[in-house]
Amino acid sequence: MVIGVLAAVALLIPFIAISYRRRGHISALWLLGWIALAIYAMSLWTYTLMPLPQEGYRCVGMQLTPFASVNDARGFPHATVGQILRNPSVQQVAFNLILFMPLGFLLRAMFRREIVAATLTGAAISLFIEVTQKTGVWGLFPCAYRLFDVDDLMVNTLGALIGSIVALVFVRPRTSRIDPAQPRAVTAGRRLLGMLCDMLFLALLGSLLAMGWAAWQRYILHVPFEELDQNIQTMLALWVPLAVQLIWIMASGQTVGESATLLRGRPTRIPAVLARPLRFVAGIGGYGILTGLDFPFSGLLLTGLVIVILVMVWSSRNHRGFAAMVAGMELEDARIRVQARGRISA
């Protein structure tokens, strides 16, 4: 669950960007479904391939007889309900069924796949897992350490089918399709989502660059850990991502997070060449600089900036926020300009 949540966070920015461009917006339920999907993907990997075998493990073959688990279940005493539930074959079928029900549900609830498509997708994923087990994780191990079982393939497919049917109860049919290219209002929630993406961008890109540099130095060049240059690591962890944000804002008038949520700053009283750097310093740039520098009252200034930014998101005109106000910008849906260019071309 922890790794699944981390994976969902790491892929959140492209997920939000794709959602806005394909659906026109994003909802809290959609975000929750994305996190659930990431956790579920990790669950599939964990329950089907883990634990990895130790040295000297015993190779296993294939079970290609359909409904062999039914015959196995019959050989177990079934005098009581408790004995049925303790039957290993019954447990295997039940848990395989349950394991693939969320897949069918999520495919239908999040991606609006039809029941047949969700079921076939479940069958394809199940087959991929079984083949992965049979090939020893595609040759990573000399032979299979998990059994290729045709009953698992059938039960997993049935689980995806049941999950997609259950989704019919919760997923409302679309009465009208909203054009994703249609501009929408700038809301406080959308602004906060863009800010979250900006902070994630700084943290994720900085961490990736710093860890990559440290790994290169440590494992390729064999530099002792205590001799790694902390100044270079700090530059890669903070100043390079901030530089990317500055270049992005100067080129487009948007932060990375605003690009993901289809927002754009429109200069009004100050020329763009001056408004855009002002916006950077009063927003994500100022936040990053105060985070990276240590001087008297830097922490107090950072806290004050964050409070002002959050308050201004709710109280400013059209939720444009503190940075846009300082830069003399109005915040608008980026699709407005696309439509305007289309009208001019027509």
- pLDDT of residue 233 exceeding 70: yes
> pTM of the entire structure?
0.73
Mean pLDDT of all residues belonging to the chain = 85
CA angle 175, 181, 187 (to 5 degrees): 85
Q: What is the pLDDT of residue 275?
A: 93
- pLDDT of residue 178 exceeding 70: no
- Which of 2-11, 52-61, 70-79, 285-294 is most confident? 285-294
Nearest Cα to Cα of residue 276 among 247, 299, 300: 247
- pLDDT of residue 226 exceeding 80: no
Least confident segment among 85-94, 108-117, 156-165, 325-334:
85-94
Q: Where are the alpha helices (DSSP H) in the chain?
A: 2-10, 12-23, 28-49, 68-74, 81-85, 88-111, 115-134, 136-139, 150-170, 188-215, 230-234, 240-252, 256-260, 272-282, 284-292, 298-315, 321-326, 335-345
pLDDT in tens, 110-137: 887 888 999 999 999 999 988 988 888 8
Q: What is the pLDDT of residue 344?
A: 42
pLDDT in tens, 328-346: 999 999 888 655 454 444 4
Q: What is the pLDDT of residue 176?
A: 53
